[in-house]
Amino acid sequence: MKKLLTNKVFKDALLAITLPLIALFLQYSLESINNSREWLFFYPAIFITAWRRGSRPGYIATIFCGLLAVYFLIPPAFSFKLVSYASTLEILIFSFMGISTSFLMGKIHARYSSMSAHSEELERSTEYLSSLLENIPLMVFVKDAKDLRFIRFNKAGEELLGFSRSELIGKSDFDFFPKEQAEFFISKDRDVLAAKRVVDIKEEMIQTRNQGTRILHTKKIPLYGPNGEAQYLLGVSEDITEKKKQEEEILRMIKEEAVLKERELSTAREIFLAKVSTLLSASLDYHETLKLLADLSVTALGDWCTISIINEKGEFERATGAHVDKNKQVLLEEYLEKYPPDKRVVSVTTETSYYNPQILDSQLKSMIKDQRQYELLMELGSNSSMIVPIKARGKVRGSLAFIAGKNKPNFSAQDLALAEDLGRRAGIAIENALLYSSSQDAIRARDEFVSIASHELKTPITSLKMQLQMMLRGVNPERGLTPPPEKLMKALVNSSNQVDRLTLLIEDLLDVTRIARGKLTYHFEEVNLSKLVREVLERFSEEIQFSKCELTFDLEDSVMVYCDRYRIEQVTVNLLSNAIKYGANQPIHAIVKHEAGKAILMIQDKGMGIPKDMQTKIFERFERAISSTNISGLGLGLYISKQIIDAHQGTIEVESELGKGSTFKVSLPTGL
Give the mean model confidence (pLDDT) for residues 624-647: 69
Task: Please indicate, yes or no, whether residues 432 and 285 belong to a single structural domain of this protein.
Answer: yes
Task: Please indicate, yes or no, whether residues 89 and 150 belong to a single structural domain of this protein.
Answer: no
Please report whether residue 507 resides in a domain. no
Give the tens place of pLDDT for each residue, 43-77.
Answer: 888 888 888 888 888 888 888 888 888 778 777 77
Which of 94, 129, 164 is where one domain is finished?
A: 129
Contact criterion met (CB below 8 Å) for 345 and 443? no
Here the CATH number for the domain that contains residue 404 is: 3.30.450.40
Task: Please indicate, yes or no, whether residues 547 and 591 belong to a single structural domain of this protein.
Answer: yes
Confidence label for 516 from pLDDT (cuts 50, 70 and 90): low
Please report whether residue 481 resides in a domain. no
Task: Please indicate, yes or no, whether residues 393 and 542 belong to a single structural domain of this protein.
Answer: no
Helices (H) and strands (E) in the chain, counts: 19, 17
Please report whether residue 472 resides in a domain. no
Residues in CB range of 459: below 8 A, 6 or more apart? 501, 632
Task: Please indicate, yes or no, whether residues 20 and 86 belong to a single structural domain of this protein.
Answer: yes
What DSSP character marks residue 585?
T
Amino acid identity for residue 114 in this structure: S
Please report whether residue 640 resides in a domain. yes
Here the CATH number for the domain that contains residue 592 is: 3.30.565.10
Task: Please indicate, yes or no, whether residues 112 and 158 belong to a single structural domain of this protein.
Answer: no
Percentage of the chain surpassing pLDDT 90? 13
Please report whether residue 163 resides in a domain. yes
Here the CATH number for the domain that contains residue 206 is: 3.30.450.20
Q: Is the pLDDT of residue 509 over 80?
A: no
Asked if the bond preceding 178 is cis, omega within 30° of 0, the reply is no
Please report whether residue 482 resides in a domain. no
User: 315-322 long-range CB contacts below 8 Å, 24 or more apart?
Assistant: 316/340, 316/341, 316/343, 316/348, 316/398, 317/341, 319/287, 319/290, 319/291, 319/398, 320/287, 320/290, 320/291, 320/294, 321/294, 322/291, 322/294, 322/295, 322/297, 322/298
Contact criterion met (CB below 8 Å) for 168 and 161? yes
Task: Please indicate, yes or no, whether residues 547 and 639 belong to a single structural domain of this protein.
Answer: yes
Lowest average pLDDT, out of 141-155, 180-194, 416-430, 432-446, goes to 432-446
Average of per-residue pLDDT values in the chain = 80
CA–CA separation, 103 and 46 (whole Å): 11
Give the tens place of pLDDT for each residue, 343-367.
Answer: 544 444 556 888 888 888 888 888 8
The helix (run of H) or strand (run of E) holding residue 265 is helix 241-281
Q: Is the pLDDT of residue 272 over 50?
A: yes
Contact criterion met (CB below 8 Å) for 414 and 270? no
For the beta carbon of residue 423, count every other beta carbon within 10 angstroms. Answer: 24
Give the mean model confidence (pLDDT) for residues 579-583: 82
Q: Is the pLDDT of residue 25 over 60?
A: yes
Measure Cα distances from 103 to 11, 63, 107, 110, 160 in Å.
19, 14, 6, 11, 59
Contact criterion met (CB below 8 Å) for 301 and 292? no
Measure Cα distances from 285 to 282, 318, 323 in Å.
9, 16, 22
pLDDT at 629: 47
* DSSP-assigned states of every residue in 167-197: HHTT--GGGTS-HHHHHHHHHHHHHHHHHTS
Contact criterion met (CB below 8 Å) for 573 and 588? no
For the beta carbon of residue 381, count every other beta carbon within 10 angstroms. Answer: 20
Task: Please indicate, yes or no, whether residues 298 and 413 belong to a single structural domain of this protein.
Answer: yes
Measure Cα distances from 436 to 289, 430, 445, 526, 617 in Å.
14, 10, 14, 46, 19
CA–CA separation, 624 and 637 (whole Å): 10
CA torsion sign, 223 to 227 to 229 to 232? negative
Lowest average pLDDT, out of 287-296, 411-420, 497-506, 648-657, goes to 497-506
Highest mean pLDDT pick, 68-82, 228-242, 499-513, 623-637: 228-242
pLDDT at 1: 47
Exposure of 357 in the CB half-sphere (CA atoms within 13 A): 8
Q: Rounded to a whole number, what is the largest CA-CA distance in the chain?
A: 215
Please report whether residue 446 resides in a domain. no
Confidence label for 32 from pLDDT (cuts 50, 70 and 90): low
Query: At how many degrees (to 10) do helices 529-539 and 565-582 cross?
Result: 50
> Cα–Cα–Cα angle for 603, 609, 612, nearest 5°?
110
Which of 438, 466, 500 is where one domain is finished?
A: 438
What DSSP character marks residue 162?
T
CA of residue 504 relative to chain centroid, distance: 64
Confidence label for 313 from pLDDT (cuts 50, 70 and 90): low
CA–CA separation, 260 and 268 (whole Å): 12
Contact criterion met (CB below 8 Å) for 36 and 49? no
Which of 390, 419, 438 is where one domain is finished?
A: 438
pLDDT at 131: 78
Provide φ and ψ at 2, rounded to 5°: -65, -40
Write out the E strands in 240-315: 304-310
Task: Please indicate, yes or no, whether residues 155 and 118 belong to a single structural domain of this protein.
Answer: no
Q: How many domains are there within the chain?
A: 4
CA–CA separation, 645 and 568 (whole Å): 8
Confidence label for 4 from pLDDT (cuts 50, 70 and 90): very low
Q: Is the pLDDT of residue 23 over 70?
A: yes
CA–CA separation, 629 and 585 (whole Å): 19
Task: Please indicate, yes or no, whether residues 284 and 428 belong to a single structural domain of this protein.
Answer: yes
Task: Please indicate, yes or no, whether residues 124 and 142 belong to a single structural domain of this protein.
Answer: no
Does 57 or 630 have the greater pLDDT score?
A: 57
By DSSP bridging, strand 316-323 and strand 354-356 are unpaired
Q: Is the pLDDT of residue 456 over 80?
A: no
CA–CA separation, 424 and 286 (whole Å): 14
Confidence label for 368 from pLDDT (cuts 50, 70 and 90): confident
* CA nearest to 28, candidates 63, 62, 78: 78
* CA nearest to 429, candidates 270, 319, 304, 303: 319
Contact criterion met (CB below 8 Å) for 583 and 545? no
**Residue 534 sits in which domain range?**
521-669
CA–CA separation, 64 and 98 (whole Å): 11
For the beta carbon of residue 85, count every other beta carbon within 10 angstroms. Answer: 8
Exposure of 195 in the CB half-sphere (CA atoms within 13 A): 12
Please report whether residue 498 resides in a domain. no
Measure Cα distances from 145 to 186, 189, 225, 230, 567 in Å.
11, 9, 11, 6, 103
Residues in CB range of 156: below 8 A, 6 or more apart? 136, 137, 138, 139, 140
* DSSP-assigned states of every residue in 400-417: EEEEE-TTSPPP-HHHHH
Give the tens place of pLDDT for each residue, 423-447.
Answer: 888 888 777 777 777 777 667 766 6
Task: Please indicate, yes or no, whether residues 208 and 228 belong to a single structural domain of this protein.
Answer: yes
